[in-house]
Structure 1
Amino acid sequence: MLDNISKITKSLVIISLLFTCLALQAAVPRAPSLTAKSYVLMDYDSGKIIAQSNPDLPVGPASLTKMMTGYVVSHELEAGNISRDDIVKISMNAYAQNPVFEGSSLMWLEVGKTVKLGELIKGLIISSGNDAAVALAEHVAGSESAFTDLMNHHAKKLGMNDTFFENAHGLSATQQKTTARDMAILGMALIRDFPHEYELYKQRSYTYNNIQTYNRHPLLADPSLNVDGIKTGHTKKAGYCLVSSATKDSMRLISVVMGTDSKQTRKVESKKLLSYGFRFFETVRPLEAGKVLHKPRIWMGESDEVELGIAEDIFVTIPRNSDLKAQYVVEKDLSAPIKKGQIAGKVFFMIGKETVAEHPLVALHDVEEAGFFGRMSDSVSQWFDSLFE
C-alpha cells in the first residue's frame, strides 16, 4: 500500500510531542568499551539496542541455557500441560552425582526420590541446578533430547536466529551456541511472557533437602542499581557470562555480557553498561494504542472518514532531553471497505532530521462499503477532485 511516494499525501502533519520541551539535546558520550567477547544493552520496552559489540558473534551459552529451559517449562505450565504440583521422580540422568555434573551448580537431587515440579523450577532458576534442568526436561518431554527440540522451536519463534541448544543445562556441547543479541531477546521474552516465573530470578537463596544454595547473580546485592535478575553462566569454553535486567523509574534495561575472564569482570562490565544506559538515555511513550491521530477522507464507504491511530502503545528510546517530534504520512485515496488494523500510513519519530523509529498507522475500526448510489456519488466526486490535482 505504501510502495511509492506518489501514493502518499504530499502534506505531512507534524506533531510536537509535549514530553520533550528542551531544544538542545544533551551530549551523549560513546558507550563504554568492555573487556568481553561480545555484549548488548537493550531497552526492554522499545527493543532498541543502546550499545553493542559483536552482538551476533557465536559463543557458548553456558548456564544462560537455563533461561530457555525455564521459558519452555513456563510455556508448558501456561498451556496446562504440566502443573507445579506434579510429582517428578528423579532419574539417574538427573542425579546430582551424575559424573557429567561434576564441579557444576546443583540442586542436589537424589536418584529415585520424588520432587514437586514447583521445587524443581526454584532449583533451576535460583540454584542454577543442572540436575534440576534435566529432571524438568525429562518430565516435560520424556527425554532431554526431545526437550531440546522444544527449546529450539521456541528460540526460532522468538527470533533467536543464531542460537542452537543441545542440552537443557548449558554444559559444553559440540553444536550448542548463542549470541549476545539472542540472549537479550530471550531475557525480554521471559520478563514479558512469564512475569510470575521471572520473580524467582531475584530470590537470593533456596533450600532443598536441608541444603541451602545461593543465587550467583552478583548485581542483585548492588545498592546503586535496581537489578531484579536474570542469569549467570560459565564454562571454560564460554568464559564468564552475565545477563542482567534493572529498572530505574519507568525504564527497564537488559544487559548481556559474554565471554569475560572472571566473575569480577562480568560484574563490573555489566554495571558499566547499565549505568551508561540509565544515565544518558530514556524511554518515552509518545503515543498510546487506540488514540485517534488523523481522520482522512474515505471513498466508497458508509462513513466519509476513517479514524487512524496505532494498534499498540509505542515506546521510543532516545538520548535524554532530546527534542522528539513525530510526522505521519497517509495513503492517498483510501477506499472502503477498510478493516480494523489495516495499514493506511506510517508514523515517523524524529530527532532533528534523523528518523529514530517508525510504526504503521492503522484503521481503528471497520468501514463498510456504501450502497450502490453512495458509491456512484463518490465515484463522480473522486473524478471531479482529480481534475484539480
Structure 2
Amino acid sequence: MTALRSFAPCGWGATGLALGAGLGLVVALPLMTDVAKAFETKADHALLINLGTNTVLFDKAADVSMTPSSMSKLMTAYMVFDRLKQGSLSLDDTFTVSENAWRKGGAASGGSTMFLEPGSTVRVEDLLRGIIIQSGNDACIVVAENLAGDEASFADAMNRRAQELGLTGSHFMNATGLPDPQHYMTAHDLAILAEHIIRDFPEYYRFYGETEFTYNGITQHNRNPLLYKNMGADGLKTGHTSVAGYGLTASAKEGDRRVVMVINGLKSTKERSEEAERLMAWAFRNFEDVNLLKAGEPISNAEVWLGEDDTVPLVSAKDLVVSLPRAARRDMVVRVVYDGPLAAPINAGDPLATLVIEGPDMQRLEYPLVAGKKVEELSLLGRVMASIKNAIFGMAQEALPEDLNKASQAAPEPSK
C-alpha cells in the first residue's frame, strides 16, 4: 500500500515525502553530483571526500592503480604510529643508521633525504619528522630495517596491514615510494589511509601540520602547498617522481567539516599547488553538511500486519548528517520507501525502510531506517479476527465498484 504525506525535516522547509512499497533496504550510497561531473582538473587521478559524512564529492580515476611516489610514505609512517599506539615503541627510542640506508636514501642518493649520517643513532620522533616533513628516504629505510630487519620484510608487513585496513588497490615493494612496477596505490586507498591516520592517531597526526624541521643543522620545509594557504589545511603528504608526476594527499578542516583530497599526475609543483587549492576551495564552497535526523527521532510510521500496534515508527539508528550541493537543497525531495505492510513481530532496531533524498544536480542518496520500537505479534485469536476482518473488508472493497455501477443505473433521472 502506498501513502503520500508532506514532510519538513529539521528546518529544511517543505519537501515531499512519499511512503511506498516496492523497495527493500538499501545501504547508504556516496554522493556523486552533476556539479562534480561538470568540474574538471588537470590531475590524472583525483578524489575528494567529505570525511564526516563519508561522501565522495569528486572522483577521477580514483580506483585506477598509479605510482604513489612519496605519498606511500603515509603507510610507512602508519606502521610506526601503530607500534607507538601498541606500546612496543616510544618516540624516545633510538634507531641506528645503516650504510645501506645512507647509500640508498642519504645525501649521495640524489633523492629526498634527512641527511642522516651512517652509524649514527636517531630518535624515533626525529625519524617521523624526517619522513613526514622532509620526505627523507633515508629515514624510511632506517625505520624499515630497525622494525623488520630489512626493507623487503617491512614491505611485506606493510602489505599485510594494508589488506587489514581495506587498501585493496595497493601493493608495496619498499618503504620509500621509489618507483617499482609492483609498487602501486589508488587515490581511493590513499584517502582511506589518510582517514585512518587522522582518526586513529590524533596525537601523531599533528606532525603533518608542521611546516619545517631542522636536523643535523639543515632546515627543510614541508612541501605540502596547502599548509601555506590559510585554508584550514593540516596535512598530509606530497609525492613526486618522473614516472608519476606531482601528487598530493591533503586534508583541510573548515568548522566541523573535514575534506580529504588526493591528486596525482600533475606536471609541476606550481600546477600541483594551483590545482590543490582550487579543488579544496571548490569542495568547501559548493557543498554543505546538513543535520537531517537525530538518532531515534521518528521520521514516519510504517503499517504493521498482525501486530499489537497498527504502525511502527521509523527512525535512524544514528544521527544523520548528509553532504549536499548548496544549489540543490531548496528543491530537494525526501521519500521513505518500504515493503508494507510489515509483518509482526518486529524488534526495535530491525531494518525496515530506506530514506531517499533526491534533487536537481545530484544523484539520489539512500540511508537505512529501523524500527523505533518493538511490536509484538497478535495472539492466535487476534490473528484470526484480523484475518476475518481483512477478508470481509477486502470483499467489500472488491464489490464496491460493481455496486456503485448498479446503483447509478437504478437511480432515477434528475428532474429537468
CA positional deviation for 1:369: 6.7
- The 8 Å contact of residues 105 and 137 in structure 2, kept in 1 or not, is answered as no
- The 8 Å contact of residues 12 and 328 in structure 1, kept in 2 or not, is answered as no
Q: Between the two proteins, what is the percent identity of the paired residues?
A: 34
1:308-348 per-position Cα deviation (integer Å, ceiling 9, x unaligned) = 4223333322211423443223453243363x643222221
1:379 and 2:383 are equivalent in the alignment: yes
Q: Which has the larger radius of gyration?
A: 2
Cα distance in 2 for residues equivalent to 1:211 and 1:14? 66
Go from structure 1 to structure 2 and tell me whether the alpha carbon gap of 1:140 and 1:293 turns closer, same or farther (over 3 Å shift): farther
Q: Secondary structure of the equivalent of 1:51? A: strand
Cα distance in 1 for residues equivalent to 2:80 and 2:389? 60
CA positional deviation for 1:361: 1.4
- The aligned counterpart of 1:255 is 261
Unaligned runs of 5+ in 2: 16-33, 395-416
Q: Secondary structure of the equivalent of 2:220? A: strand
Q: Which of 286, 289, 295 in structure 1 is aligned with 2:295? A: 289
1:10 and 2:2 are equivalent in the alignment: yes
1:6-49 per-position Cα deviation (integer Å, ceiling 9, x unaligned) = xxx633665323444499xxx95864432222222222222332
Higher mean displacement: 57-66 or 72-81: 72-81
Go from structure 1 to structure 2 and tell me whether the alpha carbon gap of 1:20 and 1:147 turns closer, same or farther (over 3 Å shift): farther
1:160 and 2:164 are equivalent in the alignment: no
Show the 5 A alignment for 1:66-105: 66-95=73-102, 98=105, 102-105=109-112
- The aligned counterpart of 2:345 is 336
- The aligned counterpart of 1:49 is 56
Q: Secondary structure of the equivalent of 2:101? A: coil
Cα distance in 2 for residues equivalent to 1:179 and 1:131? 25
Go from structure 1 to structure 2 and tell me whether the alpha carbon gap of 1:261 and 1:207 turns closer, same or farther (over 3 Å shift): same
Q: Secondary structure of the equivalent of 1:94? A: helix
- The aligned counterpart of 2:319 is 313
Q: Secondary structure of the equivalent of 1:273? A: helix
Cα distance in 1 for residues equivalent to 2:197 and 2:235? 11
Q: Which of 177, 182, 190 in structure 1 is aligned with 2:189? A: 182
- Structure 1 counterpart of 2:141, one-letter code: V
Cα distance in 1 for residues equivalent to 2:98 and 2:196? 30
Go from structure 1 to structure 2 and tell me whether the alpha carbon gap of 1:326 and 1:300 turns closer, same or farther (over 3 Å shift): same
- The 8 Å contact of residues 35 and 260 in structure 1, kept in 2 or not, is answered as yes
CA positional deviation for 1:375: 4.0
Q: Secondary structure of the equivalent of 1:318? A: strand
- The aligned counterpart of 1:217 is 224
Kindly tell me the number of residue pairs found equivalent between the two proteins: 372
- Structure 1 counterpart of 2:368, one-letter code: P
Q: How much is the aligned-residue C-alpha RMSD, in angstroms?
A: 3.3
- The 8 Å contact of residues 107 and 113 in structure 2, kept in 1 or not, is answered as no
Go from structure 1 to structure 2 and tell me whether the alpha carbon gap of 1:147 and 1:280 turns closer, same or farther (over 3 Å shift): same
Go from structure 1 to structure 2 and tell me whether the alpha carbon gap of 1:301 and 1:72 turns closer, same or farther (over 3 Å shift): farther
Q: Which of 276, 282, 287 in structure 2 is aligned with 1:276? A: 282
Cα distance in 2 for residues equivalent to 1:136 and 1:386? 73
Go from structure 1 to structure 2 and tell me whether the alpha carbon gap of 1:105 and 1:308 turns closer, same or farther (over 3 Å shift): same
Cα distance in 1 for residues equivalent to 2:196 and 2:157? 16
Cα distance in 1 for residues equivalent to 2:142 and 2:113? 12
1:228-281 per-position Cα deviation (integer Å, ceiling 9, x unaligned) = 211100111111111222223333222222111111111111112112222222
- The 8 Å contact of residues 250 and 260 in structure 2, kept in 1 or not, is answered as yes
- The aligned counterpart of 1:109 is 116
CA positional deviation for 1:175: 0.7
Q: Secondary structure of the equivalent of 1:182? A: helix
1:143 and 2:150 are equivalent in the alignment: yes
CA positional deviation for 1:357: 1.3
Go from structure 1 to structure 2 and tell me whether the alpha carbon gap of 1:19 and 1:202 turns closer, same or farther (over 3 Å shift): farther
- Structure 2 counterpart of 1:266, one-letter code: R
1:92-141 per-position Cα deviation (integer Å, ceiling 9, x unaligned) = 34336657971222223333333332332222212222222223333444
- The aligned counterpart of 2:240 is 234
CA positional deviation for 1:202: 1.0
Relative to its length, the structure with more helix (as a share) is 2
Cα distance in 1 for residues equivalent to 2:381 and 2:334? 35
- Structure 2 counterpart of 1:346, one-letter code: T
TM-score normalised over the length of structure 2: 0.77
Go from structure 1 to structure 2 and tell me whether the alpha carbon gap of 1:99 and 1:216 turns closer, same or farther (over 3 Å shift): closer
Cα distance in 2 for residues equivalent to 1:79 and 1:342? 36
Cα distance in 2 for residues equivalent to 1:199 and 1:219? 15
Q: Secondary structure of the equivalent of 1:64? A: helix
Cα distance in 1 for residues equivalent to 2:307 and 2:227? 58
- The 8 Å contact of residues 35 and 361 in structure 2, kept in 1 or not, is answered as no
Go from structure 1 to structure 2 and tell me whether the alpha carbon gap of 1:303 and 1:177 turns closer, same or farther (over 3 Å shift): same
CA positional deviation for 1:282: 1.6
1:135-171 per-position Cα deviation (integer Å, ceiling 9, x unaligned) = 3333444433233233323433444332221111101
- The 8 Å contact of residues 349 and 356 in structure 1, kept in 2 or not, is answered as yes
1:57-81 per-position Cα deviation (integer Å, ceiling 9, x unaligned) = 3210000001122223323333334
- The aligned counterpart of 2:46 is 39
- The aligned counterpart of 1:4 is none
CA positional deviation for 1:301: 8.1
- Structure 2 counterpart of 1:342, one-letter code: D
- The 8 Å contact of residues 58 and 162 in structure 1, kept in 2 or not, is answered as yes
Cα distance in 2 for residues equivalent to 1:80 and 1:300? 56
TM-score normalised over the length of structure 1: 0.82
- The aligned counterpart of 1:362 is 370
1:350-375 per-position Cα deviation (integer Å, ceiling 9, x unaligned) = 2269653111113467x4977xxx64
Cα distance in 2 for residues equivalent to 1:118 and 1:385? 75
